[in-house]
Amino acid sequence: MHQSDYNSPKPYYWINALEKGFSLLEFLTDHPNLTVTEMARGLKIDRSTCNRFLLTLKSLGYIAAENHGRYRPTLKIFELGNRVADIVEIRPLARRCMEKLANIYGETVNLGRLDGNDVVTIDVVSSQESIRFDASIGSRSPVYTLAMGKAILAFRSEEEQADYLKTCEFKPLTPKTIKNRKSFRKELLKVRGNGYAVDNQEWALDTRCVAVPIFDFSAFPSHAISISGPAMRMTHAKTSQLIPELIEAGKYLSKELGAVDNL
């Protein structure tokens, strides 16, 4: 938080000391191993006040003092984040986004996660159209056949991708399904570059789907959200139109799970 924020009008309930304490903790997390003087200068606050905040946070276990009077945050902050992550359940968070996308584009919206070499669909908002192709909640499909699987795996580590490719058996579900490791590795690079994945009748004929990853607080691509429908409605023009809003939905849900803004 910048110094100018301290001087802006605040609600009646605002506790300035609490605001400054959190600002100091956030600043130290971004700039570890600073002295009291360096912290006070960076936050533009009085040195003695800064020292009292630091000593209080040290007593509470959120920061520690290193040699030469330099402070750093402790893993107690990480422990709090882990507890919050355990509480947050993605389906209620995603539901409103999914319903909004379904209403705008009239197609089915899916939420999925990886389980081994499969994508498990954990929530669905179905299209109201009479012709649609919906996966049921709990259904499983091979990662290489689904946009959601590609969207998640493309942003996993190279080691995880290599492990997947070692164990995956590419069995085509349709004539358009990716058939080998070389093609799939190329596809993952494309997905990572674009920020979204497409399966063009690779899971089922006449079905097209677009998906984006959802990152958790540790920047791990934990889930994906997708929009799917019949190829006759999910034209290239329509998919081009919905991709920006789908990407924004992925960023919003990632932020809700604690991911940093620049993902």
User: Which of 48, 52, 68, 69 has its CA nearest to residue 60?
Assistant: 52
Per-residue pLDDT tens for 62-110? 999 987 889 999 988 877 766 665 555 788 889 999 999 999 999 999 9
Are residues 17 and 118 part of one domain? no
Question: Residue 43: which domain range?
Answer: 3-84
Q: Is residue 261 part of a domain?
A: no
Are residues 185 and 102 part of one domain? yes
Are residues 204 and 101 part of one domain? yes
Q: Is residue 149 part of a domain?
A: yes
Cβ(24)–Cβ(50) below 8 Å:
yes
Cβ(227)–Cβ(208) below 8 Å:
no
| Stretch 157-162: mean pLDDT | 93
120/223 Cα distance (integer angstroms) = 10
Per-residue pLDDT tens for 27-38? 998 898 999 999
H, E, C per residue of 9-20 = CCCCCCCHHHHH
Residue-wise burial string across 160-187, b where 16 or more C-beta atoms lie within 10 A, e elsewhere: ebeebbeebeeeebeeebbeeeeebeeb
Are residues 129 and 246 part of one domain? yes
Residue 7's pLDDT is what? Answer: 53
Q: Where are the alpha helices (DSSP H) in 13-74?
A: 16-30, 36-43, 47-59
Are residues 106 and 77 part of one domain? no
Per-residue pLDDT tens for 110-155? 999 988 889 989 899 988 887 777 777 888 899 999 999 999 999 9
Q: Is residue 22 part of a domain?
A: yes
Residue 175's pLDDT is what? Answer: 94
Q: Is residue 263 part of a domain?
A: no
In Å, what is the CA distance from 215 to each residue of 43, 45, 134, 207, 246?
30, 35, 24, 26, 14
Domain boundary pick from 53, 84, 115 = 84
Per-residue pLDDT tens for 215-241? 988 889 989 999 999 999 999 999 999
Are residues 227 and 168 part of one domain? yes
Domain boundary pick from 28, 60, 84 = 84
Q: What is the pTM of this model?
A: 0.69
Structure tokens at 183: 């093609």
Domain boundary pick from 50, 84, 118 = 84
The vertex-66 CA angle with 65 and 67, nearest 5°, equals: 130
Least confident of 21-25, 109-113, 137-141, 182-186: 137-141
**Strands 140-142 and 197-200, how do they pair?**
unpaired
Based on the structure, what is the number of domains in the chain?
2
202/144 Cα distance (integer angstroms) = 9
Place of tokens 């600073």: 34
Residue 1's pLDDT is what? Answer: 42
Looking up residue 241, the CATH number of its domain turns out to be 3.30.450.40
Are residues 127 and 218 part of one domain? yes
Are residues 79 and 63 part of one domain? yes
Are residues 112 and 36 part of one domain? no
Are residues 124 and 71 part of one domain? no
Are residues 102 and 71 part of one domain? no
Cβ burial of 258 (10 Å; 0-12, 13-18, 19+) is middle
Looking up residue 12, the CATH number of its domain turns out to be 1.10.10.10
Cβ(72)–Cβ(63) below 8 Å:
yes
Q: Is residue 262 part of a domain?
A: no
Q: Is residue 100 part of a domain?
A: yes
Q: Is residue 204 part of a domain?
A: yes
Are residues 136 and 171 part of one domain? yes
Q: Is residue 224 part of a domain?
A: yes
